[in-house]
Amino acid sequence: MSNTDRLIIFDTTLRDGEQSPGASMTRDEKVRIAKALERLRVDVIEAGFPIASPGDFEAVQAVAQAIKDSTVCGLARAVDKDIDRAGEALRGANSARIHTFIATSPIHMKMKLRLQPDQVVEQAVAAVKRARRYTDNVEFSPEDAGRSETDFLCRVLEAVIEAGAGTVNIPDTVGYSIPEQFGALIRQLRERVPNSDKAVFSVHCHNDLGLAVANSLTAVSNGARQVECTINGLGERAGNASLEEVVMAVRTRKDVFSCDTGLDTTQIVNCSRLVSGITGFPVQPNKAIVGANAFAHESGIHQDGVLKSRETYEIMRAQDVGWTQNRMVLGKHSGRNAFRARLLEIGIEFESEEELNAAFSRFKDLADKKHEIFDDDLQALVTDAGLALENERAKLMSLRVCSETGETPRADVVLSIDGKEEAGVALGGGPVDAAFKAIESIVSSGTELQLYSVSNITSGTDAQGEVTVRLEKGGRIVNGQGADTDIVIASAKAYLNAYNKMVQPALREHPQIGDV
């Protein structure tokens, strides 16, 4: 493959993905996801927006120090203080990029920035030049390009490329574009900007009309050679283009696309699960590539066809994106080495012996309750082990629930609050309701439950249930997750996971760009 055939994958799960309400991540969670993205071999990891808050700054700094093989990027508005902060956060990175942006659409320039077009060009050029003081690798985005005038975009892009931007990214910030039109825009920009050959053209599409992947792919067909995307399509509002869909479309349809990525696609499912576990955003079963049903054939005709020849109904191999056979692999008597070996086979590595030991002890607990342990159980167990936050305020010590026909369910819970045990009792409409009320009788969080969902990790009545809980307080939203063979316990774990996030200081109040 020649250089021009390489499609650069720029992952923004840790920045734009984090702008989904409730998806905020701690510094350590960001580092875990960044390492998984590095194993996936993404080219660029956008780790955050350093000026947004001290927490954001530290997270970008920690990712910059932990990652060796991917480029680490920090976002900055086109103003000196943002760029200096991003430069500082990225110091020490093996390979650093600063991504600076300013809006170029008439509505954003007039209503939001209150700047004249000439001032916008001037600010964009100054920002790129300042960013070049910190790194040779500078990306510029004309925000809301999808609604900007093409002539003005050409003018801005020519000026920023001249000033030293090696990547120019065309964002469809509000997800307004339609594939044919967006593809034509990319083609025109490449044709009309005189120095377009000096920069890589990138796209960044939002999914408000469900077209983010389609728009990104049309842009690729028209010469874009970087796509900005997120794991599971996470992101502001309806999300960004989903990494797994873009990558697998390009790889599966080599006959259509004259480029390919350098990704190790067998890491996709692991990344998807990790991001879902950490953010508490479940993946819908019919989601392409990473949904539980993405490779499941229900109808008899399909099953028969696939058994005779896989290609009759399958265009990709499940194992190529990291789905394993979900074999029954381990049991109660399996040892630590077998446990570690199977995890390695499914692409999970531990950073330290302590992490392995913690996961192994959870495995033993699970094996006591569940006869057969499947690959999916292992994945959930490892994600669940990583859900524990540093300095957790509340821990579940014990839970007893009584639920009987004709009686009101009752829950007795014991929590450790800042290391001190406290007990609570409550009645509820059902066992889960009673458990949540018993927890609240101790923590008095003042939160409102916005979402409660349960899904099973494997099949069978002894399967683990995976619960997501979303809590809201004063406009701040957090998601929590928990897994257990007992769904009431899984629910209590998820509730406490969300509560523990809520009581930690927010990285920023509203992780939206305009609020900085």
Residues that bind ligand KIV (CB under 6 A): 16, 101, 141, 143, 171, 173, 204, 206
Chain Cα centroid distance, residue 368: 33
113 sits in the region (left: phi over 0; alpha: psi -120 to 50; else beta) called: alpha
Nearest to Zn ion of 216, 324 (CB atom): 216
Nearest to ligand KIV of 97, 204 (CB atom): 204
Nearest to ligand KIV of 102, 401 (CB atom): 102
CB of residue 142 to ligand KIV, shortest distance in Å: 9
* Size of interface with Zn ion, in residues (CB under 5 A): 1
Task: Please choose, out of 15-23, 161-169, 306-314, 407-415, the segment that lies near Zn ion by the rule CB under 5 A.
Answer: 15-23
Query: How far is the first Cα of the chain from the last one, in angstroms, to the nearest whole number?
Result: 42
Could you tell me where the DSSP H helices lie in 164-198?
Answer: 179-192
Q: Which residues pair with 44 in a beta bridge?
A: 10, 71
CB of residue 304 to ligand KIV, shortest distance in Å: 45
As given in the structure block, the two tokens for residue 288 are 């392409």
CB of residue 44 to ligand KIV, shortest distance in Å: 13
Query: Which one of Zn ion, ligand KIV, none is in contact with 143 (Cβ closer than 5 to 8 A by kind)?
Result: ligand KIV
3-class DSSP assignment, residue 486: coil
Alpha carbons 513 and 470: distance in angstroms, whole number: 23
Nearest to Zn ion of 16, 440 (CB atom): 16
CB of residue 241 to ligand KIV, shortest distance in Å: 11
Cα distances from 296 to residues 15, 35, 311, 312, 379, in angstroms, run: 32, 29, 14, 14, 19
Nearest to ligand KIV of 239, 282 (CB atom): 239
As given in the structure block, the two tokens for residue 76 are 């900055």
Nearest to ligand KIV of 18, 38 (CB atom): 18
Nearest to Zn ion of 22, 277 (CB atom): 22
Sorted by sequence, the CB contacts under 8 Å of residue 34 that are 6+ apart come out as: 14, 45, 47, 63, 66, 67, 70, 72
Nearest to ligand KIV of 85, 204 (CB atom): 204
Could you tell me where the DSSP H helices lie in 132-211?
Answer: 150-163, 179-192
Residue spans of beta strands (DSSP E) within 214-335:
226-229, 328-330
As given in the structure block, the two tokens for residue 227 are 């796509």
Task: Please choose, out of 16-24, 57-65, 104-112, 160-168, the segment that lies near Zn ion by the rule CB under 5 A.
Answer: 16-24
CB of residue 206 to ligand KIV, shortest distance in Å: 6
Task: Please choose, out of 10-18, 209-217, 356-364, 460-468, the segment that lies near Zn ion by the rule CB under 5 A.
Answer: 10-18
DSSP 27-59: HHHHHHHHHHHHHHT-SEEEEE-GGG-HHHHHH
CB of residue 204 to ligand KIV, shortest distance in Å: 5
**Is 158 one of the binding residues for Zn ion (CB under 5 A)?**
no
**Is 16 one of the binding residues for Zn ion (CB under 5 A)?**
yes
Query: Which one of Zn ion, ligand KIV, none is in contact with 101 (Cβ closer than 5 to 8 A by kind)?
Result: ligand KIV
CB of residue 22 to ligand KIV, shortest distance in Å: 18
- State whether the Cα torsion 48-51-56-57 is positive or negative: positive
**Is 18 one of the binding residues for Zn ion (CB under 5 A)?**
no
Q: Which residue's Cβ lies closest to Zn ion?
A: 16
Residue type present at position 248 = M
As given in the structure block, the two tokens for residue 381 are 């167990």
Binding site residues, Zn ion, CB under 5 A: 16
